Amino acid sequence: MTQVKVTLVEKIKQFIALTKPRVTQLAVFCAVIGMFLATPGMVPWKTLVGSSIGIWLLAGAAFAMNCLIEQKVDALMKRTAWRPSANGDLSPKQIIIFSSIIGLLGMLTLLIFANQLTMWLTFATFVGYAVIYTWILKPATPQNIVIGGLSGAMPPALGWAAVTNEVGAAAWLLVLIIFAWTPPHFWALALYRREDYVKSGLPMLPVTHGEKFTLLNIVLYTFILFAATLLPYIYGMSHFVYLMSALVLGGIFLAYAFALYFNYSDLLAKKTFKFSILYLSLLFVALLVDHYV
């Protein structure tokens, strides 16, 4: 059998794919917003750039380990079968070495440009996602995305810690918002990809409890999210610009949730999933604009 020669550029692209660049980008974006919200002035550029790179590297390392742990599961799912970990383009040894190198580089970068608290919090987030969520919770319970969502919600706290060397109450409000956002965001995806999850054997909510129960949970968690997004205004860390943005964006998200519940379609679930990403991005932009206006 003739082996296909892979160029260096293609190999680099395979390693980059392991880091789930789009998801990592959103995580770093939320961390950067956390940095700016932590100070009334501007974030020192060395802290901003160095912390962003460090968080990016450790997040990428966590996603790479996630790909390794879910190698067999990913190979069964159409959505993930293309990943170089699932199709055999990269060996487990290569993935472990890659994840270890960029993870250690990330920790060193955070230690130099931020502080020990940020380094250890980010490392704990790595362990929470790669080990506790991926290895333990995801194959064990349909509430995996709820319980394990805390690790994915941590970026604003990491950014906050990078600037202040502490994590104040306001930072935890930002974490709470992402924590409440994660279930409706992910369950929308799980609904229109449920056949993939049936094949994978993972106990995702649409597989274990059915479509209607999942849709009800999306509605309920969207209400929780709507309430959580009002807390920054109530707490006094934001003002009118953010409040109006949260109300409008939350109203649209609720409209999607109710539309799904009463008239489900895979196409609408896909639109809801895509909107949820835009929703979180716009909400955090509104926080940033409000902070400086």
Per residue of the chain (293 residues), give pLDDT as tens.
445 577 889 999 999 999 999 999 999 999 999 999 999 999 999 999 999 999 999 999 999 999 999 999 989 888 888 999 999 999 999 999 999 999 999 999 999 999 999 999 999 999 998 888 888 888 888 888 888 888 889 999 999 999 999 999 999 999 999 999 999 999 999 999 999 889 888 899 999 999 999 999 999 999 999 999 999 999 999 999 999 999 999 999 999 999 999 999 999 999 999 999 999 999 999 999 999 98
Judge if 5 and 143 occupy the same domain. Answer: yes
What is the rounded radius of gyration, in angstroms, for the C-alpha atoms of the chain?
19
Task: Tell which residue, 145, 153, 125, 128, has the closest CA to residue 34.
Answer: 153
Spatial separation of the C-alpha atoms in residues 13 and 21, rounded to whole Å: 11
Specify the amino acid at residue 143. Answer: Q
Task: Tell which residue, 149, 124, 156, has the closest CA to residue 134.
Answer: 149
Last residue of a domain, one of 113, 145, 167: 167
Spatial separation of the C-alpha atoms in residues 191 and 204, rounded to whole Å: 9
Q: Given the structure tokens 């409890």, which residue do they identify?
A: 209
Task: Tell which residue, 161, 176, 198, 223, has the closest CA to residue 31.
Answer: 161
Specify the amino acid at residue 10. Answer: E
Judge if 203 and 89 occupy the same domain. Answer: no
Judge if 155 and 184 occupy the same domain. Answer: no
Q: What is the pLDDT of residue 1?
A: 40
Q: How many residues does the chain have?
A: 293
Judge if 152 and 178 occupy the same domain. Answer: no
Judge if 272 and 163 occupy the same domain. Answer: no
CATH number of the domain enclosing 7: 1.10.357.140
Q: What interhelical angle do 116-127 and 92-113 show, nearest 10?
A: 160
Which tokens in the block code for residue 215?
A: 């849709």
Judge if 157 and 206 occupy the same domain. Answer: no
Last residue of a domain, one of 144, 167, 190: 167
Angle at 90 between CA 86 and CA 92, to 5 degrees: 85
Q: What is the pLDDT of residue 2?
A: 43
For 159, the domain range is 1-167
Q: What is the pLDDT of residue 140?
A: 85
Judge if 10 and 149 occupy the same domain. Answer: yes
Task: Tell which residue, 249, 255, 137, has the closest CA to residue 202.
Answer: 137
Spatial separation of the C-alpha atoms in residues 195 and 272, rounded to whole Å: 18
Judge if 173 and 154 occupy the same domain. Answer: no
Judge if 152 and 174 occupy the same domain. Answer: no
Judge if 130 and 185 occupy the same domain. Answer: no
pTM: 0.93
Judge if 151 and 206 occupy the same domain. Answer: no
Judge if 123 and 262 occupy the same domain. Answer: no
Last residue of a domain, one of 167, 199, 224: 167
Specify the amino acid at residue 70. Answer: E
Number of structural domains (the chain) is 2
